[in-house]
Amino acid sequence: MKFSVIGCSPAWPNPGSAHSGYLLEHEAGRLLVDCGPGVLPRLRQREGWPNVDAIAITHFHLDHWGDLVPWVWGAMYRWAGAVAVDNRPDLWVHQGGRAVMEEFGQQFGFKDMFDRVFTVREYAPDEPFVAAGFEVVPLRLPHYTLETYGFRLSADGVTIAYSGDSGPSERLAELARDSDLFVCEATLKRGVDDGPLRGHLSVDEALASAAQSGTRRVLLTHRPSELDTPPDVEQAFDGLEIEL
């Protein structure tokens, strides 16, 4: 399995960096997890137009899904024609997400704009689904008041856990239990509390969850360039590729 960091910025972009987007590849397919601003042009640097079998979105904060909008315009208008049904990537969103995307469509273009380009599907909390040949288990995590999920992604005997955005939670250790790689957000400066309804982690909190999980490797992500990271801790950067 190949894991590539397409973008890993926090809610504001680090210099020269894209927002959240991670590409997982194996023999059975290619899965893009999250698709924030800047991810689409980075994917286009790799190939003329992204060739993915499925996209899975953790939550509807702009930095995790925003490039789906220009993806629609490019897919629809580059050849001035509709996208054939059998060429549409599956787009996985949480239960109720289809209605959310229809609301976005009404604001940005057409109510059915995402259905014209993607096959929109919904996942349910804690229920496994299959995307691009990966088994994905979505676990609900705390992120302010927004419905948000972390993903446990497995194929070919390898498991990657991805926190998405999350405040402190015992479920993070459950998400990453005995995983081969835990990609965990670490947005906050040590000692900073982002409010009574937490939405993000510090480095210490991320590493504590990783230690509790028994993961074999932790990769911190969603980390502002303004903040230091301990030198012995691996941190994501745009273009990082990991073979598992």
pLDDT, residue 102, reads 97
pLDDT tens sequence across 13-58: 999 999 999 999 999 999 999 999 999 999 999 998 999 999 999 9
- Residue that the structure tokens 């609900």 belong to: 140
pLDDT, residue 81, reads 58
Q: What is the Cα–Cα distance from 211 to 206, expressed in whole angstroms? A: 9
Mean pLDDT of 126-151: 98
Query: Domain 2-243 falls in which CATH fold?
Result: Metallo-beta-lactamase; Chain A (3.60.15)
pLDDT, residue 168, reads 97
pLDDT, residue 86, reads 72
Task: Please give the share of the chain, as a percent, with pLDDT higher than 70.
Answer: 97
pLDDT tens sequence across 167-188: 999 999 999 999 999 999 999 9
Is the pTM of the predicted complex or chain greater than 0.85? yes
The alpha-helical segments, DSSP class H, found in the chain are 39-46, 62-65, 68-77, 97-108, 171-175, 203-213
pLDDT, residue 80, reads 60
Task: Please give the share of the chain, as a percent, with pLDDT higher than 90.
Answer: 92
pLDDT, residue 83, reads 67
pLDDT tens sequence across 80-126: 655 666 789 999 999 999 999 999 999 999 999 999 999 999 999 99
Q: What is the mean pLDDT of the chain?
A: 96
pLDDT, residue 85, reads 67
Tell me the torsion sign for CA atoms 186, 22, 162, 217.
negative
| pLDDT tier at 78, thresholds 50, 70, 90 | confident
Domain boundaries, given as residue ranges, for the chain: 2-243
User: In Å, what is the CA distance from 105 to each residue of 41, 154, 214?
Assistant: 21, 32, 42
User: In Å, what is the CA distance from 42 to each residue of 7, 22, 61, 143?
Assistant: 8, 11, 20, 27
Picking from 46-55, 79-88, 190-199, 221-230, which range would have the lowest pLDDT averaged per residue? 79-88
